[in-house]
Amino acid sequence: MRKQIFILLLLISFGNAFAQNIEVVNFKQLEQKWNKQNDTLYLINYWATWCLPCIEELPDFIKLEKEMKNRKFKMILVSLDFPSHIQSRVIPFMDKNKITTEVVLLDDDANIWIDQVDKNWDGAIPVTQFIKRERKEFYKEQLNYERLKQIVNKFH
Amino acid sequence: MKKNSILFTAITLISFWSMAQGYKIGDTATSFNLKNIDDTMVSLNDYTNEKGVVVIFTCNHCPYSVAYEDRIIAIDKKYKTMGFPVVAINPNDPDLYPADSFTEMKKRAEEKGFTFPYLFDEGQQVYPRFGATKTPHVYVLENRSGKFTVAYTGTIDNSAKNEDQVTVTYLSDALDALIAGEKPGITVTKAIGCSIKTKNK
């Protein structure tokens, strides 16, 4: 009996290796993920599997995240894929690229929440936000590793 | 001599700056002359007998564009009879997005039965003038005595992914207002879309 439970648990954990749970959130729920009372630097990247510049810059973000492992840093990748594409596009993309970063899918009225991210943003992605306490910085361009390091250094 | 070069620099800077900004509501759109999927050239000047033109930057590969295809066809069918035909422009570089090549454009238009011109922005010169940043991106141009004036920019409605969840039809509302001789209640809207990319950027 013990042996069967052990094998079962093994199979379950193996099956979940990269098949992360993708949480679908509205904008209010998303905002709750960064707690302004702590000293953590939050990096929020808005992307999608169909967005070429988004895909291109992601490896540099993951590289940064690895380096920031022991620092007060949290990266959240916000996918703007359609919820119906989670199984067919988002999860396979994460599996293929071995992404273990927190990925959530934002599903909400774009004409309302785009302004709440940044009033000067028209909705084209990728965009990246850096948030630490009350300090927010918003980048409308494709970023690379060097730029990311520069920006992060400004916050520490 | 010095005064002239300062003036020249100032004018150049201002025109580059406004090009970078794109069209705002009230701006006059300069004409374009682009190749259609039937291999003829289509120009804004071809529409001087219409009340206006609904220019939509859209493409094959973007899921947001694909989600809107049927709705764009519906808008064209309804509003071309009222003086506002749709003109679709693909602003993408096929080297970056092979699915947006001219050949693929022809295929898609035929598959879906597009009822409007689907133009190729050769050299990607037209979309920066408009200031389009993603697909789909709509510019409603109103014909005021031959001058095509920007009357609405932004998105088609408030639910890209699901037509059944649409509660606000921004584009239709804007067109209805213009046809009634009024200004649209909402002239600029925002939406998510696939960013238009060039090799140099």
- Any CB–CB contact under 8 A between B174 and chain A? no
| Of the partner residues A52, A115, A121, the one whose CB lies closest to the CB of residue B197 | A52
The reply to whether omega before A53 is within 30° of 0 (cis) is: no
Burial of B7 (0-12, 13-18, 19+ CB in 10 A): exposed
Q: Which residues pair with A105 in a beta bridge?
A: A24, A79
Least confident of A48-57, B28-37, B38-47, B135-144: A48-57
- Any CB–CB contact under 8 A between B185 and chain A? no
C-alpha distance across the termini of chain B, in Å = 36
Percent of chain B with pLDDT over 70: 90
Residue B17 pLDDT > 70: no
The reply to whether omega before B136 is within 30° of 0 (cis) is: yes
- Asked whether B104 and B69 are in contact (CB, 8 A), the reply is no
Show the low-confidence residues of chain A (pLDDT under 70).
7-20
The letter for the amino acid at A78 is V
Q: Say what the pLDDT of residue A110 is.
A: 86
Average pLDDT over residues B155-159: 93
Cα-based angle B11, B17, B19 (whole degrees, multiple of 5): 100
- Any CB–CB contact under 8 A between B112 and chain A? no
Helix ranges (H only) for chain A are: 2-15, 27-31, 52-67, 91-96, 110-117, 145-155
- Residue-wise pLDDT for B172-194, tens only, equals 999 999 999 999 999 999 888 88
Report chain A residues whose CB lies below 8 A from the CB of B62: 50
In terms of phi and psi (left: phi > 0; alpha: psi -120 to 50; beta: otherwise), the region of B29 is: beta
DSSP letter at B30 equals P
Interface test with A, best of B24, B190, B200 (most A CBs within 10 A): B190
Helix (H/G/I), strand (E/B), else coil: B36 = strand
Q: Say what the pLDDT of residue B197 is.
A: 77
φ/ψ of A132, rounded to 5, equals: -140, 115
Q: Say what the pLDDT of residue B125 is.
A: 95
Burial of A149 (0-12, 13-18, 19+ CB in 10 A): middle
Report chain B residues whose CB lies below 8 A from the CB of A124: 133-134, 193, 195-196
* Strand pairing report for A127-132 and A41-47: antiparallel
Average pLDDT over residues B28-53: 97
Rounded to an integer, what distance in angstroms lies between the CA atom of residue A62 and that of residue A97?
A: 10
In chain B, the residue whose alpha carbon lies closest to the alpha carbon of A50 is B62
Report chain B residues whose CB lies below 8 A from the CB of A113: none
**B 140-159 residues with CB below 8 A of A?**
155, 158-159
Residue B9 pLDDT > 70: no
Interface test with A, best of B133, B137, B194, B200 (most A CBs within 10 A): B194
Tokens encoding B129: 């003038």
CB atoms B134 and A111 under 8 Å? no
- Residue-wise pLDDT for B89-128, tens only, equals 999 999 989 999 999 999 999 999 999 999 999 999 999 9
Closest Cα in chain A, distance from residue B157 (Å): 9
Least confident of B2-6, B36-40, B64-68: B2-6
Cα dihedral A113→A114→A116→A119 (10° resolution)? -150
| Of the partner residues A50, A85, A122, the one whose CB lies closest to the CB of residue B62 | A50
Percent of chain A with pLDDT over 90: 71
Q: Which residues pair with B146 in a beta bridge?
A: none
Closest Cα in chain A, distance from residue B67 (Å): 10
Closest CA to A83 of A110, A104, A103, A105: A105
Q: Say what the pLDDT of residue B12 is.
A: 57
Query: How many residues are present in chain A?
Result: 156
Cα-based angle B129, B130, B135 (whole degrees, multiple of 5): 125
Query: CA-CA distances (angstroms) from residue B65 to A2, A62, B62, B70?
Result: 54, 29, 5, 10
Instruction: Count other Cβ atoms within 10 Å, centred on residue A147.
Output: 15
Residue B48 pLDDT > 80: yes
ipTM above 0.90, yes or no: no
- pLDDT averaged over every residue in chain B: 91
Tokens encoding B54: 């609904």
Closest CA to A58 of A45, A67, A43, A69: A45
Rounded to an integer, what distance in angstroms lies between the CA atom of residue B16 and that of residue B125?
A: 13
Rounded to an integer, what distance in angstroms lies between the CA atom of residue A104 and that of residue A46?
A: 10
